[in-house]
Amino acid sequence: MGKNTDMLIESVKDIWDGYDRHPFVMGIADGTLDKEKFKYYMIQDYLYLIDYARVFALGVAKASDKETMRHFAGYVDQILDGEMDIHRGYMKRLGISLEEAEHTPLALDNLSYTSYMLRMAYEGGAAEVIVAILSCAVSYEVIAKHIVANNPAAADHEFYGEWIRGYVSDEYAKANKVLIDLTEKLTADLNDAQLEHLKQIFINCSRYEGSFWDMAWEMRG
């Protein structure tokens, strides 16, 4: 991936390994996940993505050059009109209206996670923005690819296959490659102390990702 991205991902190897063993993820992989749990997750993840897009928007404001601004702005569009399409499709199948979803309160784990990302983005610069975003973006690709590697038929499941295909797609991987390249660019000239600060943000966001799966599995508010 890149020197600093590799360093960040290596720092959370144990946390990310735990995602594959999480009962929620395993339920998607083998098609046994209770649809009520998935419905709860879809609504909370939809709400999460709204704040996730706001973090990218802050990246536009924090960027020091127009190319970086364009990258961050492009991701805002990709999330609002791309990744959210997966959620809208599922919400239609599950009988969830956009009005219902958008008026559902954020679960405490969700609120804590998005508040942390937004705080890091407000207080930091473009590097803090990109690292706060990176764990969610890349870990979903890794999870989906692990599912398909272990069970190729999972991508064709009548219900959960769409979710898996969305995150294992070439388009999603291409978007993540741009994100990784931008991470390398924004962290290239940082000193050890600055990199350590970014690593802690990445670790915290990865822990929040784990809590998000717990939240979805337990359907806790």
Active site (catalytic) residues: 136, 209
Span between the terminal Cα atoms of the chain, in Å: 36
- What is the spatial distance between Cα 90 and Cα 21, in angstroms, rounded to a whole number? 24
Task: List Cα–Cα distances, 119 to 5, 12, 216, 217, in angstroms.
Answer: 22, 21, 23, 26
- What is the spatial distance between Cα 56 and Cα 71, in angstroms, rounded to a whole number? 9
Instruction: For the beta carbon of residue 33, count every other beta carbon within 10 angstroms.
Output: 21
For the chain, the helix, strand and coil percentages under 3-state DSSP, each to the nearest 5: 85, 0, 15
Closest CA to 127 of 79, 68, 75, 177: 68
Instruction: For the beta carbon of residue 218, count every other beta carbon within 10 angstroms.
Output: 13
Q: Report the interhelical angle of 192-218 vs 3-11 (nearest 10°).
A: 50
Closest CA to 131 of 18, 1, 9, 20: 9
For residue 79, the 8-state DSSP code is: I
- What is the spatial distance between Cα 31 and Cα 147, in angstroms, rounded to a whole number? 11
